[in-house]
């Protein structure tokens, strides 16, 4: 049956990637725009993806000993100001509450842009002895950053996220936690979202406000732009000192504990869209797809077709998230609809299939069709879902490899930045001056110093001095 594009046409990626992206967000019914500019409504299909992300991630946090808590939405101005670098980083972009009911507040409060200050204030109350440590906390909540330019999922004034906050008696333990959670994020990105990521540390210039070290996972989108997809921060004892958090150690000395925080956001949905999507719409990795397989009956008015489809649906409920579409729309309309929504597998069942005791399973990621015996469906569908995941991951990895370029000189770096979207790898002396200059000349920003180093050259592409690190660069969302 010819695929009918009856309803939803979207701009092609080639024509206008940004327009393609928002078209997918709207037409796959992930979001709607809200009456407050820069905020978004996450619709049921979009929210179901977030619920799957939450559930997969939350179980990883709990498996590593973390507990969920809930801190207040508001931060009094005086509390936000306690850590100098932190307030400088966030104050320009917070929303301020000045009135409660009819009354003007004595002290204005901001809507949390992140909750380090609130956690510190609480830690000060509850941590007294080394026996109280570590505190391994996480929070699922909404945060607000009053951004000037916004895009659904990628940068919105309110977004949903998780923020981990931990407190440790030693610097070593806190550092190990920071790395552990980065690894959790990377494993999650690859095994759940099918997105390959580069793990590394941010340069000092790109660090989180108040952190001693910021680690990141960086993914490459379809258009060659980088997306920072999760960060993990080591704070040393800076916040603890600013907030006067102390505990009695084993030697009965009063000392400051060491701290971390780490976060991922609804931006991950943007990463999924821009890594796997195509000109027919969304393509979802099976682990987070609200519907993993959709059953489309063919010639459903013919005797036995609906009955058999329902039977297959009941059977498949045991092994995946399945939906049977019994609506009156044509099969062609349904094909287009579920392609738009990125459902990993389509199961077609028609009169002739039933005669032969088979159905046709079509993969969303590559269009591959498999005729499957109805007796083998319960084992075949999970296998095919696994194949879709692997297919998506490998395709994304291959694209990233093709779109990653080594620059051996400043000229070459500029030439790549101007003409080839993607990651640029280049050697760097470690000086802020060269980082600034490279950004100015090439228009790309430093993404991270990857854990996996490689010596492309012996010297910095910018100043020619001895190189300290290989650095990833790119245009970023």
Answer for which of 39, 306, 319, 441 binds a copy of itself (CB under 8 A) is 39
Q: Least distance (Å) from a copy of itself to the CB of residue 353?
A: 29
Q: Contact between 94 and a copy of itself (CB under 8 A)? A: yes
Binding to a copy of itself in span 104-143, by CB under 8 A: 109, 111, 118, 121-122, 125-126, 137, 141-142
Which one of residues 27, 64, 69, 155 is an interface residue with a copy of itself (CB under 8 A)? 69
State whether the Cα torsion 173-175-177-183 is positive or negative: negative
Phi-psi region of 44 (alpha: psi -120 to 50; beta: other; left: phi over 0): alpha
Is residue 77 helix, strand or coil? helix
Nearer to a copy of itself by Cβ, of 103 and 355: the residue is 103
Nearer to a copy of itself, 53 or 438 (CB): 53
CB 227 within 8 A of CB 218: yes
Question: Which residue pairs from 356-360 have beta carbons closer than 8 angstroms and sit at least 24 positions apart in sequence?
Answer: 359/312
2 DSSP assignment: P
Residue from 101, 252, 303, 419 in contact with a copy of itself (CB under 8 A): 101
| Residue 35 binds a copy of itself (CB under 8 A) | yes
Of 258, 41, 74, the closest CA to residue 153 belongs to: 41
CA 304 → CA 137, 298, 374, 386, distances in Å? 54, 11, 15, 31
Residue of the chain from 6, 22, 81, 95 that contacts a copy of itself (CB under 8 A):
95
Where do the H-state alpha helices sit in 192-280? 238-242, 267-276
In 3D, which of 285, 357, 369, 360 has the Cα closest to residue 321? 285
| Nearer CB in complex with a copy of itself: 90/428 | 90
Least distance (Å) from a copy of itself to the CB of residue 44?
4
Count the residues of the shown chain that bind a copy of itself, applying the rule CB under 8 A.
51
11, 17, 48, 132: which one contacts a copy of itself (CB under 8 A)? 48
DSSP symbols for 162-208: EEEEEEESSHHHHHHHHHHHHHHHHHHHHHTS----EEEE--GGG--
Closer residue to a copy of itself, CB minimum distance, 102 or 440:
102
By CB under 8 A, residue 44 contacts a copy of itself = yes
Residues 352-381 that bind a copy of itself (CB under 8 A): none
- Out of 2, 14, 63, 92, which residue is the one contacting a copy of itself (CB under 8 A)? 92
**Beta-ladder partners of 169:** none
Binding site for a copy of itself (CB under 8 A): 32, 34-36, 39-44, 47-48, 50-51, 67-76, 79, 92-102, 109, 111, 118, 121-122, 125-126, 137, 141-142, 144, 146, 157-158, 160
């Amino acid at each position: 049956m010819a695929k009918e594009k009856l309803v939803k046409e979207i701009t092609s990626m080639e024509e206008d990637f940004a327009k393609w992206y928002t078209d997918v967000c709207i037409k796959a019914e992930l979001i709607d725009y809200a009456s407050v500019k820069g905020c978004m409504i996450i619709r049921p299909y979009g929210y179901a993806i977030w619920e799957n992300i939450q559930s997969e991630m939350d179980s990883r946090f709990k498996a590593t000993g973390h507990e969920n808590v809930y801190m207040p939405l508001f931060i009094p101005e005086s509390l936000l100001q306690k850590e100098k670098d932190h307030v400088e980083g966030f104050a320009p972009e917070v929303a301020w509450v000045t009135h409660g009911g009819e009354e003007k507040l004595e002290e204005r409060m901001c809507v949390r842009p992140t909750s380090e200050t609130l956690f510190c204030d609480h830690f000060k109350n509850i941590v007294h002895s080394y026996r109280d440590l570590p505190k391994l906390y996480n929070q699922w909540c909404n945060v607000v950053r009053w951004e000037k330019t916004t895009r659904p999922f990628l940068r919105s004034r309110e977004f949903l996220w998780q923020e981990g906050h931990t407190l440790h008696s030693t610097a070593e333990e806190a550092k190990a936690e920071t790395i552990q959670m980065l690894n959790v994020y990377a494993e999650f990105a690859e095994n759940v979202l099918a997105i390959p990521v580069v793990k590394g540390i941010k340069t000092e210039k790109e660090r989180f406000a108040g952190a001693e070290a910021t680690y990141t996972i960086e993914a490459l989108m379809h258009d060659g732009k980088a997306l920072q997809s999760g960060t993990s921060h080591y704070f040393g004892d800076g916040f603890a000192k600013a907030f006067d958090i102390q505990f009695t150690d084993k030697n009965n000395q009063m000392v400051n504990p060491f701290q971390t925080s780490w976060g991922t956001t609804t931006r991950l949905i943007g990463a999924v869209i821009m890594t796997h999507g195509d000109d027919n719409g969304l393509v979802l990795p099976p682990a987070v797809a609200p519907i993993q397989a959709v059953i489309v009956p063919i010639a459903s008015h013919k005797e036995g077709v609906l009955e058999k489809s329902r039977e297959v649906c009941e059977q498949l409920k045991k092994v995946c998230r399945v939906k049977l579409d019994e609506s009156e729309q044509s099969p062609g309309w349904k094909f287009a609809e579920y392609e738009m929504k990125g459902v990993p597998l389509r199961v077609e069942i028609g009169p002739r299939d039933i005669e032969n005791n088979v159905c046709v399973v079509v993969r969303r990621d590559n269009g591959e069709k498999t005729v499957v015996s109805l007796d083998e469906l319960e084992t075949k569908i999970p296998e095919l879902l696994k194949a879709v995941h692997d297919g998506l991951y490998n395709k994304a990895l291959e694209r990233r490899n093709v779109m990653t370029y080594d620059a051996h000189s400043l000229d070459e770096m500029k030439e790549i930045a101007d003409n080839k979207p993607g990651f640029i790898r280049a050697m760097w002396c470690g000086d802020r001056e060269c980082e600034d200059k490279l950004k100015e000349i090439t228009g790309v920003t430093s993404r991270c110093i990857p854990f996996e180093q490689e010596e492309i050259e012996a010297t910095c592409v910018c100043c020619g001095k001895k190189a300290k690190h290989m650095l990833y660069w790119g245009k970023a969302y």
